[in-house]
Amino acid sequence: MSEKLFYLKEDAYFEPLFNQWYAWSYLLPPVTGARYIVNTHKRIMMSFVNNYELHISAAKEAVVTGGEFLNCSAEQVEDIQRLLTKIDTDCAELVQLSKAINQLDELLAQHTSGQTIEALYAQVPSELSGYVELCMDLQHRPSYRLIEPLLYKSRFYRPQLQSLSFGLISRVHDRPFVLSTPRLPDENHLQIGIDYNNAFVDQLCRAREIPLKEAEIQALFHGLNTQGGLDYRELFSDTAPAVPYQPVNTGVRLQYTGHAGFLIESQHVAILIDPVIASRGPQYAGDTFSFSELPPKIDYILLTHNHQDHVNLETLLQLRYKTGKIIVPKNNGGTLADPSIRLLLKQLQFDVIEVDELDEIPLPAGKITSIPFLGEHGDLNVRSKTAWLIELAGKKCFFGADSANPDINLYRHMADVLADIDIYAIGMECVGAPYTWLYGALHSKMVPKAIKDSRRLDGSDCQQAFCVVAILKPKAVCIYALGLEPWFKYFMGLEYEENSKQLLESNRMIEVCREIGIPAERMNGRRIFQL
């Protein structure tokens, strides 16, 4: 009799943590991470300790999901206080690094003469000395550039603050929102104190498709530093995944993978865009695209921009063992608001290609072109964003993610490049989060309310999106799900009503496209196009 084999369960989910908080792409780089630890994590936890009744009450209201309220109980106040103490001890150097940014901002704000700033190097806080270049713009205003590669080699890059948390959707029903609450050990989760580059991560994630023997599972978990009430053996099942991968036999197949993700394949290449892959929980099993449906090898992963729902570390780490290359947009080279995606992913052992606007990557019978991306970043000079044009076996697909269209002339200039598109995919989150939701922690001073509310992280509305369609005349239009998929609420935190502007605008977009004979639909759940 053959020995029984075990797969990582389809409803097992994986959360990378940093200092007990859900890890995302601005939390791991040393300087932006320091800012979020001090200006977001510490501030929210102090608020909870000082007024936990308010947080507990607010966390029960679905309308404030995604707000800055800890989803913890009164019994966990002491646990949160311990995390606050840990910030002042284990993260003391990062706290000082954040303070140094405040001091540097103040130093440069006082330099108003427009004359040389070389003398200011001697006044740069010690934590930043040697890690920044001081500079002036053409209006003679001082600023600075972080030397990012050197910071990753410094004491401020802290893999020892990384850990992993595992759970089962069948035990929690729906995953709690990840961005506003630290992950404390509890009876429904297993936390493991290792960094993301530990060989354990790839070995475990590979078990979603290549099963392990019981002895191999025991060896995998042997000696690990674990906390929580979930036994590691509960993460495994001897039942193979319910929906296996189906190879492409002919032409080009395009599959919507959820949120802003697409998988585009021919017989020769597989390309995954902005993956956020759902663990298949029992309540949404028929609706979700999950890990078992991915090909054995992903040749390229394309990332459009550096927001947590597009550079999704949770998914990327689970796909690392089967990923060839990741293609990312180039950043501004050291500005605080625009950390390098390439440098981050290199620390996590990915093979990364960085591209500039209109760069091309050759494919078998095709190519990938990076397309300029406007909007959705609060008017900041963030360069690390790109849309993608994929040409494969005679088919052309455009993936615009959350890009907006404040200047239609950009697309007029690119009309030849974008001609004869088969699929035009775009997000329409036209009422995005306030500016401070993502970027507030980077500031040294309070951002005025008028700025916070006017510089929202908006994508396209109907007028902006349709202007592009009217020029390009694609064969079909796909609108991303806008956060409507309930299995992704754990990171989206959105609650729409029937008259929400995002739904009204996307519904109108579908109507006006159909009026000119172009089929359009809003993605939600499964969708496959055979091109």
Tally of structural domains, the chain: 3
* Residue 298, beta-bridge partner list: 323
Looking at the fold, whether 356 and 483 belong to one and the same domain comes out as: yes
- The verdict on pTM exceeding 0.95 is yes
Question: Which residues 6+ apart lie within 8 Å of 242 measured at CB?
Answer: 10, 280, 285, 292
Q: What is the largest CA-CA distance in the chain?
A: 83
Looking at the fold, whether 400 and 465 belong to one and the same domain comes out as: yes
Question: Is pLDDT above 80 for 65?
Answer: no
pLDDT (tens digit per residue) in 411-443 = 999 999 999 999 999 999 999 889 999 999 999
Mean model confidence pLDDT for the chain: 95
Residue where a domain stops, chosen among 187, 208, 237? 237
Residue where a domain stops, chosen among 237, 270, 298? 237
Looking at the fold, whether 189 and 276 belong to one and the same domain comes out as: no
- The reply to whether 427 falls in a domain is yes
Looking at the fold, whether 399 and 363 belong to one and the same domain comes out as: yes
Backbone angles phi, psi at 7, to 5 degrees: -105, 150
Give the pLDDT score at 37.
97
Give the pLDDT score at 64.
62
Assign 344 to helix, strand or coil.
helix
Looking at the fold, whether 402 and 476 belong to one and the same domain comes out as: yes
What band does 286 get if pLDDT is binned at 50, 70 and 90? confident
Domain that holds residue 494: 253-523
Looking at the fold, whether 65 and 137 belong to one and the same domain comes out as: no
Q: How far is CA 122 from the centre of its chain?
A: 38
Looking at the fold, whether 188 and 267 belong to one and the same domain comes out as: no
d(CA 342, CA 327): 8
Structure tokens that stand for 376 in this block:
């959705």
Question: Is pLDDT above 70 for 374?
Answer: yes
Sign of CA dihedral 159, 162, 163, 167: negative
Give the pLDDT score at 1.
56
Looking at the fold, whether 226 and 300 belong to one and the same domain comes out as: no
- The reply to whether 206 falls in a domain is yes
Strands 423-426 and 395-399: what pairing?
parallel
Q: How many CB atoms lie within 10 A of CB 334?
A: 20
Structure tokens that stand for 231 in this block:
């036994």
Give the pLDDT score at 59.
81
- The reply to whether 213 falls in a domain is yes
Looking at the fold, whether 470 and 502 belong to one and the same domain comes out as: yes
Which has the minimum average pLDDT: 57-61, 324-328, 378-382, 463-467? 57-61
- The reply to whether 414 falls in a domain is yes
End-to-end CA distance of the chain: 46
Q: Is 263 left (phi over 0), alpha (psi -120 to 50) or beta?
A: beta
pLDDT (tens digit per residue) in 176-186 = 899 999 999 99
- The reply to whether 122 falls in a domain is yes
Assign 416 to helix, strand or coil.
coil
Question: Which residues 6+ apart lie within 8 Å of 410 measured at CB?
Answer: 372, 374
Looking at the fold, whether 164 and 142 belong to one and the same domain comes out as: no
CATH code of the domain containing 398: 3.60.15.10
Looking at the fold, whether 349 and 474 belong to one and the same domain comes out as: yes
- The reply to whether 98 falls in a domain is no
- The reply to whether 103 falls in a domain is no
Structure tokens that stand for 433 in this block:
């989060």
Give the pLDDT score at 68.
86
Give the pLDDT score at 210.
96
Assign 12 to helix, strand or coil.
strand
Give the pLDDT score at 62.
67
Question: Is pLDDT above 80 for 16?
Answer: yes
Residue where a domain stops, chosen among 186, 206, 237? 237
Looking at the fold, whether 352 and 459 belong to one and the same domain comes out as: yes
Give the pLDDT score at 63.
63
Q: Is 134 left (phi over 0), alpha (psi -120 to 50) or beta?
A: beta
Q: Which helix (H) or strand (E) holds 200?
A: helix 199-206
- The reply to whether 322 falls in a domain is yes
Percent of the chain whose pLDDT exceeds 70:
99
